[in-house]
A and B are shown apart, each in its own frame.
Chain A
Amino acid sequence: QKEVEQDPGPLSVPEGAIVSLNCTYSNSAFQYFMWYRQYSRKGPELLMYTYSSGNKEDGRFTAQVDKSSKYISLFIRDSQPSDSATYLCAIVYGQNFVFGPGTRLSVLP
């Protein structure tokens, strides 16, 4: 079993839709939970991070963590074509970053 699992997609949605991206993890020692966004031919960039169960909101983006279920989600409201990218969940313990394989999202105008 991989440490972090993520639906690879691709996922296509119309502009304005609510998008739900999900990851599951296996190691209870994980401390930080993050979402990175990667545009085509670019390096990943940090979108959001959290370290506790519950929701964290930043504009149109909401990160949700459920430690009891080892499940993290990223919700995108009012999705825009500029949100088209690959979204990577990342989980940290100590100095170790473990990334999910990424979900490719296309938002169609």
Chain B
Amino acid sequence: EAQVTQNPRYLITVTGKKLTVTCSQNMNHEYMSWYRQDPGLGLRQIYYSMNVEVTDKGDVPEGYKVSRKEKRNFPLILESPSPNQTSLYFCASSSHPGAHEQYFGPGTRLTVT
């Protein structure tokens, strides 16, 4: 089944404790992206990657890191999480940059206390 998977689905952590949210897709997609979704603000892009070893900042990259060492994986790293990073995070992929359809993962709900 073609899908985007994320882990963990739920995470509660404390300020400053480094964490990684994994994202994997099995569709051989070139383009992958991370979003955060907050009430009233909608989906905002954090980082995106157009291919292996090619990443770029989205609209809200501060406090986040990403890497794209393999085509299928695109982890999101929070080196020192803060409470304002409490949010619902989505990973997405599409066949190529500019493709109109993005496939979204199920989401990761992160709470930073």
Contact = CB atoms under 8 A, between A and B. Distances in A.
A and B form one complex? yes
Given A44-B104, A95-B50, A100 B42 contact: yes
A43 B106 contact: yes
Given A95-B31, A99-B42, A100-B42, A34 B100 contact: yes
Interface residues of B, number: 24
Interface of B: 4, 31, 33, 35, 40-45, 48, 50, 58, 90, 92, 97-98, 100-102, 104-107
A92 B106 contact: no
Interface of A: 4, 6, 8, 32, 34, 41-46, 49, 51, 88, 92, 94-97, 99-102
B107 A42 contact: yes
A45 B42 contact: no
Contacts of A95: 31, 48, 50, 97-98
